[in-house]
Amino acid sequence: MSGEGRDPQAIRRLAPGRLVIASHNEGKVREIRDLLAPYGMDVVSAKELDLPEPEETGTTFVANAELKAMQAADLSGLPALADDSGLCVEGLGGDPGIFSARWAGEAKDFDLAMRLVHEHLAAKGPDTPRDAHFIAALALAWPDGHVEWFEGRVDGTLVWPPRGANGFGYDAMFLPVDGEQTFGEMEPQAKHAISHRADAFRQLVAAVF
C-alpha cells in the first residue's frame, strides 16, 4: 500500500550509492541489508554513523517511519530508509501496535514483551482470539525532504510458548497463516519470502529501483 492516489510516474527513483538505514535495531538492520543486497546500495546504519534515535511521536507506522527517515537524511546528507513495524493482536484491540518496541522496555527485552502479550491475552479468557498481524511501513527520505512510503502486512496467529531462536522481536510467537514454523523457526530466506517487511520492500523495489 504505497502512497495511494499518487501518480506512479511521480515517484522518485533511487540511484545506486550510499544509503542510511535509519535504525539502531541490529536485527532490523541485518534484515533490511539482506533485502537491499541485490540493488547496488552501499548501506550504513544510523548506529554506525552515531546518529541519534528520534522520539517516535507519530500515531501511525507510516508517520513514525517518515520521521525517522527524514531525521537520518537531514543529519547525514544521504538518502535514508526507515522501517516502523509492529505486532497487532486482534484480541488486544490492535495492541501493542505502534508501541511494540515500548512493550519491550528500555532494555529492549522482547522475551518480556512476548510474555506481556501472552499474559494480556490470558487475562481476557481462553476464548480470546489469538489472530494477529505484523505491519511494516518503509519510508525512504532524501536530504531535500522528499519522502516515499510503502506499507506491508502479514497475517497469522500467536503461539505459546515461543518457538525458535531466529529472527527478532515477536517472531518466535508468530505463526503465519498456513505456516508450520514461526518466524523465529524460519531460516532468513524463508521469512523474507513472506514477511510484512518483504511485502513493503517489494513495493519499494518496484517503485524506486
| Residues belonging to the active site | 84
Q: Read off the C-alpha cell for 197.
A: 517487511
Sign of CA dihedral 85, 87, 92, 94: positive
Distance CA 89, CA 156 (A): 10
Q: Read off the C-alpha cell for 50.
A: 552515531
- β-pair type (131-141, 80-89): antiparallel
Q: How many CB atoms lie within 10 A of CB 187?
A: 10
Amino acid type, 171 = D
Residue whose grid cell is 501493542: 96
Q: What residues pair up with 158 in beta bridges, in sequence order?
A: 174
Q: How many CB atoms lie within 10 A of CB 181?
A: 15
Contact indicator for 96, 89 with CB cutoff of 8 Å:
yes
Burial class (CB in 10 A: 0-12, 13-18, 19+), 89: buried
Distance CA 19, CA 77 (A): 10
